[in-house]
């Protein structure tokens, strides 16, 4: 039984590089076994940290959001995730995520900067103050307490606009199609010259 839908999600996100995404995916597999989950692990190419959910904005507002994002500049920075935990969610579909503490302060600061820029252009409703940086690994059937993990992270030097289209629902399940827009380089690259002494 098929039910066509037209729902979609558009959001700004930081994404790990390919090597880090594969490491996170392997960690997710190990944690899945450790916690006895049956859930499907999110594919490496879909792992991300959501910064702002744009939803289905009218085109003028969406254009402003893209323009504001393109104007923000900062130096590259590190993000570090050091524990796993379950978030609240629908029964039988609890987000199981990686998150962290001090290792995510620079990301929080960057998001505040981006939020201020959006608010200055009339998009204050997008700049919600509540923000818990996380990477969703899977939607598990039960929740678990917080556990420390070996820290894992990467250097953020860009973020992207992602269009996630919920294309089809099959007997209450679903298939998501992710479309990454052309990567928008937002962060000024800092080059360091190494010289032999």
Q: Which helix or strand (DSSP H or E) is residue 57 part of? A: none
The SS3 call for residue 187 is: coil
Residue-wise pLDDT tens digits, 173-182: 333 344 444 3
pLDDT of residue 56: 67
Residue-wise pLDDT tens digits, 134-185: 999 999 999 999 999 999 999 998 877 776 644 332 333 333 344 444 333 3
Domains of the chain by residue range: 2-180
Residue-wise pLDDT tens digits, 108-141: 999 988 888 888 888 777 766 688 999 999 999 9
Q: What is the rounded CA–CA span in Å between residue 89 and residue 92? A: 8
The SS3 call for residue 73 is: coil
Chain centroid, CA 60 distance in Å? 24
DSSP 55: -
Q: Which of 2-11, 89-98, 143-152, 165-174 has the lowest mean pLDDT?
A: 165-174
pLDDT of residue 164: 64
Asked if residue 16 lies in contact with residue 165, where contact means CB atoms within 8 angstroms, the answer is: no
Q: Which fold has domain 2-180?
A: Cyclic Phosphodiesterase; Chain: A, (3.90.1140)
β-sheet bridge partners, residue 11: 53, 162
pLDDT of residue 176: 38
Mean pLDDT of the chain: 78
pLDDT of residue 197: 34
Task: Please indicate whether residue 154 or residue 62 has the higher confidence score (pLDDT).
Answer: 154
User: Which residues, other chains included, contact 184 with Cβ-Cβ below 8 Å and sequence gap of 6+?
Assistant: 66, 69, 70, 158, 159, 160, 161
The band of 65, judged by pLDDT with boundaries at 50, 70 and 90, is confident
Total-model pTM: 0.78
């Amino acid at each position: 039984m098929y039910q066509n839908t037209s729902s979609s999600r558009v959001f700004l996100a930081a994404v790990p590089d390919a090597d880090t995404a594969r490491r996170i995916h392997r960690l997710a597999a190990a944690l899945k076994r450790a916690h006895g989950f049956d859930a499907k692990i999110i594919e490496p190419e879909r792992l991300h940290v959501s910064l702002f959910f744009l939803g289905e904005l009218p085109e003028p507002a969406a254009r402003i959001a893209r323009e504001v994002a393109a104007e923000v500049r900062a130096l590259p920075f590190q993000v570090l995730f050091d524990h796993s935990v379950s978030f609240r969610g629908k029964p039988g579909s609890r987000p199981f995520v990686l998150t962290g503490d001090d290792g995510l302060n620079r990301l929080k600061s960057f998001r505040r900067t981006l939020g201020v820029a959006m608010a200055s252009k009339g998009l204050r409703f997008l700049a919600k103050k509540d923000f818990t940086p996380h990477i969703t690994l899977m939607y598990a059937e039960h929740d678990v307490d917080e556990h420390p993990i070996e820290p894992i992270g990467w250097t953020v030097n860009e973020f992207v606009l992602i269009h996630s289209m919920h294309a089809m629902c099959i007997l209450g399940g679903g298939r998501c199609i992710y479309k990454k827009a052309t990567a928008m380089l937002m962060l000024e690259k800092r080059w360091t010259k190494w010289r032999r002494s």
